[in-house]
């Protein structure tokens, strides 16, 4: 295995005149039989992140990549510490989730070692392949604003107005300050504006920090103070499960007394939709780890994602209760049947661009 730094050293030692291809400020390494790529996730105490890792591992097996997966265990400091650990281990590339503003230091530490980085899920305030971060080769994540809009639209379409002519909702937000939480909430605003701001009342908003337990506690308090709430916008599916738990604890019937819209397409939420407890979910962005791996693999073999395609925001798969059967048929176990080699420029010169993969995979067969 050759990483970028070792390759450069070898070139100098040989004192040979060798032409190299410069990609985003880095020299493309020699084709490695088994490149080593580090993957950093914020937690594995989550169905979503386990699916993310599972799909990435499937890609590593198909492409012949050695994968090092590091779990930050919901500790922000670990995100950057793990980057430093991976740099010390001389990995060929790093794929990291940009939670807790970890993307800029992750990119900076990797840049010092000339290691390319793909950021997933939550993006920094600068674009991939910009002058300040030439080793930041791509972002892969959901189009959170679009997802938030669809979540809000589904909720508002299903709600009936109260005696005052208004639809009353509560909001359970994700981790404060993350682009994920911010953009999903903006999507709800877009749906409310479209509905007519005077027709919707937000009774209150709480922070669930993208976790079931925190959302359950926070929403229970919110609902006790505002029992007029008839719909809940939950920024992800674990928090939607928390809302369901809170309602059931208070003797209410989720899906009847209160409608719930979430995001992630987690298995437990698919079951909740089967049971009529959850109205709507949207997701499939567990693909982002595997797509990031594909982008990194091709880059390490000399195939760069064009700068105008390097900000990959996935349009996600919406699911109503009526869609559950076909979702389970098309995504058994929550994973698509995906051929990584067919989508890699290394193996298939006619492979589609990485920016088209999400749309090709996140769809129903009929």
pLDDT digits (tens, 9 = 90+) for 306-341: 999 999 998 899 999 999 999 999 998 888 889 999
Task: Tell whether the model's pLDDT for residue 93 goes beyond 60.
Answer: yes
Q: Which regions of 112-190 does DSSP assign to beta strands (E)? A: 117-120, 136-142, 167-173
**Residue 26: helix, strand or coil by DSSP?**
strand
Smallest Cα–Cα separation from 48: which of 187, 183, 236, 233?
Answer: 236
Enter the CATH code of domain 4-143+285-361: 3.40.50.2300
pLDDT digits (tens, 9 = 90+) for 133-160: 999 999 999 999 999 999 999 999 999 9
In the DSSP assignment, the letter for residue 264 is B
pLDDT, residue 136, reads 97
pLDDT, residue 1, reads 41
pLDDT digits (tens, 9 = 90+) for 110-132: 999 999 999 999 888 899 999 98
Tell me the sheet residues that pair with 202: 169
d(CA 102, CA 72): 11
Mean pLDDT along residues 278-293: 95
Reported as a pLDDT band with limits 50, 70 and 90, residue 82 is very high
pLDDT digits (tens, 9 = 90+) for 222-254: 999 999 999 999 999 999 999 999 999 999 999
Smallest Cα–Cα separation from 35: which of 115, 93, 74, 119?
Answer: 93
For the chain, residues classed under CATH 3.40.50.2300 are 4-143+285-361, 145-283
Distances in Å between the Cα of 260 and the Cα atoms of 231, 236, 341 are 6, 11, 39
Dig out the tokens for 105 from the structure. 């230091």
pLDDT digits (tens, 9 = 90+) for 189-201: 999 999 998 999 9
pTM of the model: 0.82
pLDDT digits (tens, 9 = 90+) for 32-46: 568 999 999 999 988
Q: Does domain 145-283 have CATH number 3.40.50.2300?
A: yes
218 with 206: CB under 8 angstroms? yes
């Amino acid at each position: 295995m050759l990483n970028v730094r070792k390759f450069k050293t070898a070139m100098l030692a040989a004192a040979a005149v060798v032409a190299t291809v410069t990609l985003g400020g880095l020299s493309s390494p020699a084709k490695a039989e088994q490149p080593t790529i580090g993957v950093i996730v914020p937690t594995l105490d989550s169905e979503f992140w386990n699916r993310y890792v599972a799909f990435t591992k499937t890609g590593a097996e198909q492409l012949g990549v050695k994968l090092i997966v590091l779990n930050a265990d919901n500790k922000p400091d670990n995100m950057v510490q793990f980057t430093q650990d991976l740099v010390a281990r001389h990995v060929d590339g790093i794929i990291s989730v940009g939670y807790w503003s970890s993307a800029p230091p992750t990119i900076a530490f990797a840049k010092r070692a000339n290691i390319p980085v793909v950021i997933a899920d939550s993006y920094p305030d600068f674009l991939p392949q910009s002058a300040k971060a030439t080793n930041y080769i791509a972002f892969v994540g959901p189009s959170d604003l679009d997802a938030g809009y669809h979540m809000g639209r589904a909720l508002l379409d299903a709600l009936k107005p109260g005696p005052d002519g208004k639809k009353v909702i509560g909001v359970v937000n994700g981790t404060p300050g993350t682009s994920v939480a911010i953009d999903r909430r903006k999507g709800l605003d877009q749906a409310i504006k479209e509905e007519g701001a005077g027709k919707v009342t937000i009774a209150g908003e709480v922070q669930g920090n993208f976790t079931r337990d925190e959302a359950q506690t926070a929403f229970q308090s919110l609902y006790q103070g505002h029992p007029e709430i008839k719909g809940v916008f939950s920024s992800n599916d674990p928090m939607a499960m928390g809302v369901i738990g809170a309602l059931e604890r208070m003797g209410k019937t989720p899906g009847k007394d209160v409608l719930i819209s979430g995001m992630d397409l987690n298995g437990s939420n698919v079951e909740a939709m089967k049971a009529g407890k959850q109205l709507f979910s949207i997701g499939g962005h567990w693909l982002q780890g595997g797509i990031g791996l594909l982008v990194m693999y091709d880059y390490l073999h000399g195939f760069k994602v064009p700068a105008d395609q390097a900000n990959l925001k996935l349009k996600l798969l919406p699911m109503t209760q009526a869609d559950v059967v076909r979702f389970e048929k098309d995504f058994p176990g929550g994973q698509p049947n995906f051929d990584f080699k067919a989508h890699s420029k290394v193996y298939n010169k006619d492979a589609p661009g990485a920016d088209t993969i999400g749309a090709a995979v996140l769809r129903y067969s009929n």
